[in-house]
Each structure stands twice: as C-alpha cells, then as structure tokens.
C-alpha cells in the first residue's frame, strides 16, 4: 500500500471514529435529558390527573354577586360540598355529552366548545407548586371560607377542592376533607371566572353595509310606522345617518340567553310593547334583496342600553341607547 492510500485510510478511519463519538455523545445527551425529565416529573405533585373529564362544577364566591349579576344564595354554607349547591346562582355546571360540552342548568344555551376545551385541559392536570403539610389554621390560607369550590368528575371518580387566598401569582388549595394545603398556578382559577357572554355562543347583530342598505321600516308599538328609503331623494341625509349607524351597530352584552314568552315583557319585548325594525338590503354576492328583522324593547336599569332581540332568537342583548335612538329618529 503506497503512502497516499495509507494516509487516505487513516483519514477515513478518523472520520468514522468522529462520527461514532458524535453519535455516542448525542445518544448519551438524549438519554440524560430523558432521565432528567423523568426525574423532574417524578418530583412533581399532582392534585388531579385525568385523560378526560365528564363533568365540571364550580362555585364562585369571590364576589358578593356572580358574573351574571345574581346575588349569592344563602344555601352555600361554608362547609357544604359544591355538589350540594347546584341551584346556587353562583354555581356553574358543565356536562360533556358525546364529546360536546353543555351547560347543565340550561341545555338550550350553546357553549363555545373551544373555550370549554381550554377549561377542560386546564383542569385535567392540576399540579401543586408548593406543599404545606399540617397547616396550623385554614383561615391563614382563606380555606375556612373558600372563594371557590371545584368538583371534577370523570367516568369513574370525583375530586372536590377548596380554593382560598392568593399567594403571589398562585392560589391556596386543598382537597375537601383533606389535611394538606397546596398552592396552584393562578391559571387554574382563571378558568373559573367566566361570564356567560364569554362562554355562550351569542348572537351577532347582522352586518348591513352602508352601500347595501335599501330601506328600513320601523313599526312602533302604537301602530305608527316610519320608513327610511334610499330611493327617496329627500331622505338622503336621513338615510345616510341611519345606514351608517346600522353598519356599526353591535350587541354590547346579553341580558338573557333563554328568554321565554313569559319573560319577554320584563324586557319590553312582548308583542304589545316592542318596536319592530325591518331592514332590506342587497346581498353582496348577487344584489338580491334580503331582509333582517329585530325588536327594540325597553331601556335597562342603567338607562344606557336598550334591550334588543333578533327575530327567532331566544337571546336578549343590549345595544347602546344612543345607537337605537339614532335608528329610531334618523338623526
């Protein structure tokens, strides 16, 4: 073997050795990372873990009234289980049926499934940040009169928790009838402070652009009628005001998610008292005329909003009084 070939084989051997060493180092590093991850996972403390939840119940006593404005029920005693207070106005109950989350207190209210999935994911794995064994007094942690109570149910088990005061960005928590206090991330509690506006699939006020507006008919409760027609030259300024306002009209929030014939009158939306508005507009796709109908009720207690209902909807929304009055008066 001549000198050049010998040198070439030496270089190839060195290269192969380097490859083997590199692979070995990478393999060792990967195994070390896996062992470190396994060790870190083994050192974690989980209050709850499940593959899937079937039912979520929580009682929010963090305020004197709940996010829907109802006062706290006197039935929610300090030592009661959250499942004992399902009729409490501050108790939220969600049930998963055939992969879909429903609001158990009123199954007609459709929930935003992405939001409910995020809630489920947050509750499926609750990790303790800190463990406090044999606490001196539950009152020190706000657990003698907890702000929140949480029940998580799977197909075969149920765990209930009490949640008290904050500890920095975390909250004190303990299992009901337990004797150990933990802290958990505030993200757990953030899944218990929703409003129904945030959880429910709510109506969107129909968008009618200024260019597509044809006319709007206003039928007052006393039988009189107003018509704002884009083809009437003398109404040009009025129609411009009405159509521009209509294009920016929206529901601020909702007062009711399942109104009934019996409760319509409390919003001034019963047939005898409501104002009916019918808007005719051109379709963006083919210029065909379409109509949308909605009803104006009374002002809410603040006087800032009117109650408004879309035709065939069971929801009652709030729209700014200034917006509604512009639509009514054309100015």
Question: How do residues 18-45 score in pLDDT, each as one tens digit?
Answer: 877 787 777 666 665 655 455 444 568 9
Integer Rg of the chain from CA = 31
Residue 112: the pLDDT is 96
Q: What's the average model confidence in pLDDT over 169-182?
A: 94
Residue 126: the pLDDT is 95
Instruction: Please answer whether residues 211 and 247 qualify as being in contact, where contact means their C-beta atoms are separated by less than 8 angstroms.
Output: no
Instruction: Please answer whether residues 308 and 250 qualify as being in contact, where contact means their C-beta atoms are separated by less than 8 angstroms.
Output: no
Q: What's the average model confidence in pLDDT over 267-275?
A: 97
Distance CA 36, CA 129 (A): 19
CA–CA distances in Å: residue 223 to residues 26, 35, 219, 325:
83, 79, 7, 18
Cβ contacts of 319 within 8 Å, gap of 6 or more: 205, 249, 250, 251, 252, 305, 306, 308
The domains found in the chain, sorted by start residue, are: 48-199 (no CATH), 213-329 (2.60.40)
Q: State the average pLDDT for the chain.
A: 87
Question: How do residues 198-236 score in pLDDT, each as one tens digit?
Answer: 999 999 998 999 899 999 999 999 999 999 999 999 999
Q: What's the average model confidence in pLDDT over 301-310?
A: 97
Choose the weakest-confidence range: 61-75, 124-138, 245-259, 272-286: 61-75
Question: How do residues 48-105 score in pLDDT, each as one tens digit?
Answer: 999 999 999 999 887 643 333 333 333 434 445 555 556 667 899 999 999 999 999 9
34 phi/psi in degrees, rounded to 5: -65, -40
Instruction: Please answer whether residues 96 and 17 qualify as being in contact, where contact means their C-beta atoms are separated by less than 8 angstroms.
Output: no
182 phi/psi in degrees, rounded to 5: -125, 170
Choose the weakest-confidence range: 67-81, 99-113, 121-135, 245-259: 67-81
Residue 74: the pLDDT is 34
Residue 65: the pLDDT is 38
Q: How many residues does this entry show for the chain?
A: 331
If we measure between CA atoms, which residue out of 42, 40, 45 comes closest to residue 132?
45
Distance CA 287, CA 290 (A): 9
């Amino acid at each position: 073997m001549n000198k050049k070939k010998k040198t070439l084989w030496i270089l190839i051997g060195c290269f192969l050795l380097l490859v083997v060493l590199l692979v070995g180092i990478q393999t060792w590093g990967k195994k070390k990372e896996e062992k470190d991850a396994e060790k870190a996972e083994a050192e974690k403390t989980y209050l709850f873990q499940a593959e899937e939840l079937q039912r979520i119940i929580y009682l929010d006593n963090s305020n004197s009234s709940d996010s829907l404005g109802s006062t706290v029920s006197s039935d929610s005693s300090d030592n009661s289980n959250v499942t004992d207070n399902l009729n409490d106005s501050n108790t939220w109950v969600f049930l998963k049926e055939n992969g879909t989350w429903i609001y158990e207190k009123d199954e007609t209210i459709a929930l935003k499934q992405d939001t409910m999935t995020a809630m489920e994911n947050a509750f499926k794995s609750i990790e303790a940040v800190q463990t406090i064994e044999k606490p001196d007094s539950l009152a020190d942690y706000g657990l003698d009169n907890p702000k929140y109570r949480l029940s998580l149910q799977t197909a075969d088990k149920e765990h209930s928790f009490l949640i008290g005061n904050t500890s920095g960005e975390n909250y004190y928590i303990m299992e009901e009838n337990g004797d150990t206090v933990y802290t958990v991330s505030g993200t757990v509690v953030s899944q218990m402070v929703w409003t129904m506006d945030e959880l429910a699939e709510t109506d969107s006020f129909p968008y009618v652009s200024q260019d597509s507006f044809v006319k709007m008919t206003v039928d007052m409760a006393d039988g009189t009628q107003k018509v704002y027609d884009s083809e009437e030259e003398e109404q040009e300024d009025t129609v411009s005001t009405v159509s521009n306002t209509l294009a920016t009209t929206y529901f601020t929030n909702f007062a009711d998610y399942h109104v009934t014939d019996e409760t319509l009158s409390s919003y001034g939306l019963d047939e005898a008292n409501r104002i009916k508005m019918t808007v005719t507009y051109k379709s963006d796709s083919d210029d065909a005329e379409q109509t949308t109908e909605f009803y104006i009720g009374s002002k809410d207690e603040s006087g800032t909003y009117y109650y408004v209902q879309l035709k065939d909807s069971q929801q009652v929304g709030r729209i700014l009084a200034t917006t509604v009055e512009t639509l009514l008066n054309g100015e």
